[in-house]
Amino acid sequence: MGEKVRISVSTLFRLAGIILMLMILSKIDWQYMRLSLKQFQIKYFLLVIPFFVLTIFIKSLRWFYIIKIQGIRLSLFKSYLYYSASIFWGIITPGRLGEAIKIFYLKSHAVSAGKAALGVLIDRGMDLFFLTVLSVAGIMVILNYFSYTIFAMIILCMIFLLIITYWNKSIIANKIIKFLLFVIPNKYKDKVDLFMNEAKMDLLLFSWPKWIIITILTVLAWTCNIIPLYILGKGLEIMVHPSMLITAIFLSFSISMLPISFNGVGTRDAFLILYLGKAGITEEKAILFSSMFIYMGIVDIFSSYISYTLKDTRC
């Protein structure tokens, strides 16, 4: 019964996002939107496509490096195919859970579930960590418009201190193990204990220099992720300060990940209308800019599907 209630509440949240989107669309000037879209040059769409491929390549390179540290031998080309294919599954599954399919791909290479799962968790965790840092920085920029800079800096310092406090690898691993062993039924605890101990031993292989390399690759990947949207925004003639447009981009990514709408539909649009509206950007252009995130998703689906069909290629 409780599970049904949770599902229905989750569905209601997503429906609320769609309703919000319909309300927004009912108030816009469609003639002005068509005119703005007509003035948008197709070259901008073509110009950003290489960045999508480069983003996936850098992320697959990061995953390749992570599993190499664990002693898993996989070619870079195969890593790219597996990673890109997992993005396809991530897009078509709720909460991008499909990206965990990399675990099963590695198991087909005689890699244990513990090793494979840890690599996926670190890879995904770095994206979430970096997006969180960007979001906090973005909130600081937004609060600056309301003269709350000091308040935002205090929050940022608190988060930074928490990260430093809990960064110790052994502490993190032990906390994860204790929690899982508490919630998992007794009959599975022996297997899970073995699974987590293996993951814990692998986690200790990651030294600070290796974390720095992983972080650099994460920064490069997100830079390549932000640049195309920045170019598309300029193509739509969204003339705002670069920091404002960049902030709008990564906060839109964060909003899209929240489980309160279908991939940010409605909520992302409302945010962009309110935020970019402060710089005099019309609702129509804000919605067109929001639609560029959908364009990115479509390109990702096609490119990752190609990799999915090629994932069994021998190399």
CB neighbour class for 56 (10 Å; exposed up to 12, middle 13-18, buried from 19): buried
The length of the chain in residues reads 315
Specify the pTM: 0.77
Higher pLDDT, 274 or 123: 123
The residues, any chain, with a CB within 8 Å of residue 178's CB and separated by 6 or more, are none
pLDDT at 93 over 70: no
Token duo for residue 247 = 């902030």
Could you list the beta-strand ranges (E) of the chain: none
Gyration radius of the chain over CA positions: 21
Lowest mean pLDDT among 6-10, 112-116, 185-189, 309-313: 6-10
Q: Which residues of 237-255 are buried (b: 16+ CB within 10 A; e: fewer)?
A: ebebeeebbbbbbbbbbbb
| Mean pLDDT for the stretch of residues 91-117 | 78
- pLDDT at residue 67, as a whole number: 94
The residues, any chain, with a CB within 8 Å of residue 120's CB and separated by 6 or more, are 99, 100, 102, 103
Q: Could you tell me the end-to-end alpha-carbon distance of the chain, in angstroms, rounded to an integer?
A: 49
Q: Give the C-alpha separation, 288 to 272, whole Å.
A: 10
- pLDDT at residue 26, as a whole number: 75
**pLDDT band for position 170 (50/70/90)?**
very low
Query: For residue 109, how many other CB atoms are within 10 A of its CB?
Result: 13
- pLDDT at residue 145, as a whole number: 59
Q: What is the dihedral of CA 130, 133, 139, 145, to 10 degrees?
A: -100
pLDDT at 183 over 60: no
Q: Which residues of 79-107 are buried (b: 16+ CB within 10 A; e: fewer)?
A: bbbbbbbbbbbbbeeeebebbbbbbebbe
CA-nearest of 253, 282, 279 to 268 is 253
pLDDT at 180 over 60: no
Query: For residue 128, how many other CB atoms are within 10 A of its CB?
Result: 11
pLDDT at 148 over 90: no
Token duo for residue 285 = 């252009």
